[in-house]
Amino acid sequence: MSSSTRIIYVEGSPKDRGFSYGSSAKDLIHKNIEMYKVLYRRFAGLEWDDVKAEAEGWIPIIRKYDGEIMDEIEGIAAGAECSVEEIVALNARYEFSITTLSRRNRRECTAFAVTPDSSLIDGTILGQNWDFRSRFRETCLILSVRQEGGKPDVLMHLEAGTVGHKGLNSSGLGLCINALLSDRDSVEAGVPLVSVVARKILNSSTIRDAVHAVTRAERSASINYLIAHSGGEALDLEVTPDDVAVLHPDGGILTHSNNFLSSNFTFRDLGKNVFPDSLVRWNRMRRLLMGKKRLNVNSVRAAVSDHFDYPNSICRHPDQRAHPDDQFETLTSVLMILGEGRLYFTEGVPCTAKYRLLTVKKKSKH
């Protein structure tokens, strides 16, 4: 597959960054909006005008949580010539999709972190296969953000029009994300978990601040954040609207997919039914990593290219029996070498696509 992922570099004030991003990705943002219009209508019975009206109620909550991120969202809207409500709706697509109807036929991701305790690597690595609907591959991009005010620079792979997702920053902190579902989830106004909270995590210089970014957010759904730092630490946050459970590496390895692993919750884990393959993927990824003598880009690629239980494998491929809107595949495999600020990503399934390399430079401390 030829290189096609757009890379956008932005800097300046939050609104200036947003405007530059919005104008540079205007075509992709509009295409993303058109695809979500169809998705919301088909799976949730929501018309776009209703989605925008609902999104309006999220704006003050986002602004209270982080005014600069909200300024950036407004800048994106201006640059892309969209309404602010439309950009908020894109950023809240995770919550809007957590409905009874949209739980059908969903497939999701496999993430991992390895710390020096494993003896497989000297530093800390973090990565995931990000699985989503096939047609959204064309609206993904890389966003490189140079920030002011003491915030680290950020490098992310995300959907056009959103402000955050998986990635790493110049302070050595990285983030991967997995969907989780519980019977406590609802479609109510809050802070968008997959984008705004993700960005707040990546705006953090320390794991402590990253955890606080999660715990202080007003939440209406469940999600999983796998966070690691170049200093040799990693932790996993299983998040519900009411609480957060923490998982730590075992033998220096931490893996996660789309079912809750903590026993501290008292709710029903819907992911076991919606993502039955999840029960296999997280443990298989752990075993595959443990089976390597040493971890590098090639050995990790071999693990994330695993096809056990194909097509619903770690390296996910479309199920041709499904409706075109229900085709899921690994849109990108991301690998981050945190101590070196390196982000490797594929354009498509890792079994055939090569990793591309981008870097974020470490900021000097004053």
Instruction: Tell me how far apart the alpha carbons of residues 46 and 60 are, in angstroms, rounded to a whole number.
Output: 22
Residue at 8 is within a domain: no
Burial 266-303 (b: 16+ CB within 10 A, else e): eeebbbeebbebbebbbebbbebbeebeebeeebbbeb
* pLDDT value of residue 366: 45
Tokens of 115: 């710390």
Helix axes 14-24, 67-80, angle to 10 degrees: 30
Domain count, the chain: 1
Residue at 329 is within a domain: yes
Q: What is the CATH number of the domain that holds 121?
A: 3.60.60.10
Tokens of 195: 């984008």
Residue at 302 is within a domain: yes
* pLDDT value of residue 187: 84
* pLDDT value of residue 46: 86
Helix axes 67-80, 84-91, angle to 10 degrees: 120
**Where are the extended beta strands (E) located within the chain?**
6-10, 110-114, 125-133, 140-145, 154-159, 166-169, 173-179, 223-229, 233-239, 244-247, 253-256, 328-337, 342-345, 356-359
- What is the distance, to the nearest Å, from the Cα of residue 363 to the centroid of all Cα atoms in its chain? 24
Residue at 146 is within a domain: yes
Alpha helices in the chain (DSSP H): 14-24, 26-39, 48-56, 59-65, 67-80, 84-91, 93-97, 198-202, 207-215, 271-274, 278-290, 297-304
Residue at 179 is within a domain: yes
Residue at 20 is within a domain: no
CB neighbours (10 Å) of residue 201?
A: 27
* 366 residues of the chain, pLDDT tens digit each: 345 899 999 999 999 999 999 999 999 999 999 999 988 888 778 899 999 999 999 999 999 999 999 999 999 999 999 999 999 999 999 998 765 444 555 567 999 999 999 999 999 999 999 999 988 999 999 999 999 999 999 999 999 999 999 999 999 999 999 999 999 998 889 999 999 999 999 999 999 999 999 999 999 999 999 999 999 999 999 999 999 999 999 999 999 999 999 987 888 998 888 888 999 999 999 999 999 999 999 999 999 999 999 999 999 999 888 777 778 999 999 999 999 999 999 999 999 999 999 999 887 654
Domain ranges, residue 194: 106-359
Residue at 67 is within a domain: no
Instruction: Tell me how far apart the alpha carbons of residues 333 and 127 are, in angstroms, rounded to a whole number.
Output: 7
Instruction: Tell me how far apart the alpha carbons of residues 288 and 305 are, in angstroms, rounded to a whole number.
Output: 10
Instruction: Tell me how far apart the alpha carbons of residues 366 and 356 are, in angstroms, rounded to a whole number.
Output: 32
* pLDDT value of residue 1: 39
* pLDDT value of residue 136: 93
Beta bridge partners of 333: 129
Question: What does DSSP assign to residue 342?
Answer: E
Residue at 57 is within a domain: no
Q: Is the dihedral of CA 164, 168, 173, 176 positive or negative?
A: positive
* pLDDT value of residue 101: 45
